[in-house]
Structure 1
Amino acid sequence: MTDSLPYAEVIGDPIAHSKSPLIHNFWLNALDIEAEYRKTHVTPDGLAAYFLARRADPDWLGCNVTLPHKIAVMDYTDDPGGVRERIGAMNTIASETGGPLIGTNTDAGGFLQPLLRDKWKGRRAVLIGTGGAARAILFALASLDVPDITIMARDQSKGQALLDHGGIKGRVIGMGDALPAADLLVNSTSLGMAGQPPLELDLAPLPDGATVYDIVYAPLETALLGAARARGLKTLDGLEMLIGQAALAFDIFFDAQAPRELDEELRALLLAAD
């Protein structure tokens, strides 16, 4: 690969742990597309300079956005799809040559894919966290018409603000409160990620048929998923949402559908990279 190739990338702070380049470059190689996908460390203070530099680069196709930028990047993008109002966070930004930066969100669709595949039909969900990923997941849960949604948050006012923004009736509890009974438990925080404190929850209130979905993927086997498996609960790991949202972004950046028939091979590659 050379610097003259068209490229997309993922930005975040930190970013070294990101598996997105492995995913996108795997698909690019499989489809024999002459392009590449990178990861770039961008601090909050460096966002403005980053976009200024990238907009001047004709090879830049856009970027995915991870912690902690999913809300801040909205200040630098156009929003023809109304993502600001509907979700309140962006994770994918496309560059149109000579035109504006277009922001969208593929997290919501990526999150939903395994639930739709498994025909999940629960009525009670608990969402842990209030960040950019939580906004997309809350939007996704609302699209499934889940009638009973609880947000578990350190700052309960932020949780209520998320519900109010989406016009969603629900309730907010603190991180130290007892977990309510739910058909789906989702961790959207960085708790449990390598270098971060673990997410310690008593899963006893969850019924036997519940699903525990942890979007952390480094490590893939988090303490939360381990505890859920010990209970015999169904689990969904962080690669589910990561690969799902990446596939939607891949189409945006490279104008090609990701070869999802190779998912098993891709997961093996990602696990070997741990």
Structure 2
Amino acid sequence: MTILSGTARLAGITGWPVGHSRSPRLHGFWLERHGIDGAYLPLPIEPADFPAAIRGLMLAGFAGVNVTIPHKLAAFAVCDEVEPSARRAGAVNTMVFRDGRITGSNTDGWGFLANLRAHRVDPAAGPALILGGGGSARAVAAVLLDLGVPVSIANRTRSRAESLARELPGLQVVEWNARDDALPDNALLINTTPLGMAGQPPLRIDLDRARPWLTVADIVYVPLETPLLAAARARRINCVDGLGMLLHQAVPGFRAWFGTEPTVDDALRRFVAADLLPA
């Protein structure tokens, strides 16, 4: 049993709903590993209550929160300061409360790059094709463009892809129906759509047209082995699953809230992955 003191450090994740999040399990592992007097809590907050609730958490002594759907954009308005990572990503996913002020950042892109590197993939090695046009697509595109990587994006709704391209100079738009034709020109294929997620139809793309040096990355982590990754492995294409992005993007927040640099390792991955397995 964990017993908190009156000076325990508190953080959490807010969304609506938030019960699906694996972040409490992830941060709880680190808290126990490091023997920290603290807790990381799921915080379901309705959208209309978000600004008042965030200020209330700060006044109640929380060190900060992670932010998930549907609050990532609303978090901008609540923050007193927004770091460049969040401005480039177009969303806030990490909030730090300090001295009565709220600072917002976005760690999704950082987590994506860290996950690639953990799999010995150099994100700057070649052109990238991103599938999807949501917040994760923007965060990933932004960090790759900042590395000087040529990036193309294909989204089922072209207008959404064009909007991202206007906000991120250098981003090229590919027609969704032309994604198979674009594949051979890229060294990295990244799925940021929900296609392939549990309960969703699989993503369709002709991997037989891939070059031998292609790496396929899927940010979906339920299931760990998406149909896209299974198809890639069957063709001996290098694969990176989405769980590592979840783990790595959590590091900066934990460090800021609890004052300890956590480690992403096999023990953590096994612990979080055990909660992803079907019952």
Question: Fold-level match, TM-score > 0.5?
Answer: yes
Backbone CA RMSD of aligned residues: 2.1
Structure 2 partner of 1:91? 93
Corresponding position: 1:143 with 2:125: no
Structure 1 partner of 2:38? 35
Q: Is the 8 A contact 2:196 2:228 kept in 1?
A: yes
- What code does the residue aligned with 2:156 have? R
- What code does the residue aligned with 1:164 have? R
Structure 1 residues 266, 84: closer, same or farther in 2, change over 3 A?
Answer: closer
Corresponding position: 1:186 with 2:190: yes
Corresponding position: 1:57 with 2:92: no
Name the CA distance, whole Å, in 1 between partners of 2:43 and 2:18: 7
Which one of the candidate residues 41, 44, 48 is aligned to 2:47?
44
Post-superposition offset of 1:10 = 1.5
Corresponding position: 1:9 with 2:16: no
Post-superposition offset of 1:233 = 0.9
Post-superposition offset of 1:248 = 1.8
Unpaired segments ≥5 residues, structure 2 = none
Which one of the candidate residues 218, 225, 233 is aligned to 2:222?
218
The one-character-per-residue Cα deviations of 1:114-152 (angstroms, maximum 9, x if unpaired) are 3334152432211122222222101111122112x2111
Which one of the candidate residues 109, 123, 127 is aligned to 2:126?
123
Post-superposition offset of 1:68 = 3.1
Corresponding position: 1:239 with 2:243: yes
Name the CA distance, whole Å, in 2 between partners of 1:200 and 1:12: 30
The one-character-per-residue Cα deviations of 1:201-254 (angstroms, maximum 9, x if unpaired) are 332322122111111112211111111111211111111111111112211211
Name the CA distance, whole Å, in 2 between partners of 1:167 and 1:42: 35
Structure 1 residues 27, 11: closer, same or farther in 2, change over 3 A?
Answer: same
Structure 1 residues 68, 216: closer, same or farther in 2, change over 3 A?
Answer: farther
Q: Is the 8 A contact 1:127 1:187 kept in 2?
A: yes
- What code does the residue aligned with 2:113 have? L
- What code does the residue aligned with 1:19 have? R
- What code does the residue aligned with 1:104 have? S
Structure 2 partner of 1:204? 208
The one-character-per-residue Cα deviations of 1:54-85 (angstroms, maximum 9, x if unpaired) are 23311x11111223332232121123523454
Give the structure-1-normalised TM-score: 0.89
Name the CA distance, whole Å, in 1 between partners of 2:140 and 2:117: 14
- Which secondary structure does the structure 1 equivalent of 2:174 belong to? strand
Q: Is the 8 A contact 2:116 2:240 kept in 1?
A: no
Structure 2 partner of 1:168? 170
Structure 1 residues 13, 123: closer, same or farther in 2, change over 3 A?
Answer: same
Structure 2 partner of 1:114? 115
Name the CA distance, whole Å, in 1 between partners of 2:47 and 2:208: 39
Q: How many residues align?
A: 268
Name the CA distance, whole Å, in 2 between partners of 1:27 and 1:233: 33
- What code does the residue aligned with 1:131 have? G
Query: Runs of at least 4 residues of structure 1 off by over 6 A?
Result: none
Name the CA distance, whole Å, in 1 between partners of 2:20 and 2:96: 23
Post-superposition offset of 1:39 = 1.9
- Which secondary structure does the structure 2 equivalent of 1:204 belong to? helix
Q: Is the 8 A contact 2:15 2:68 kept in 1?
A: yes
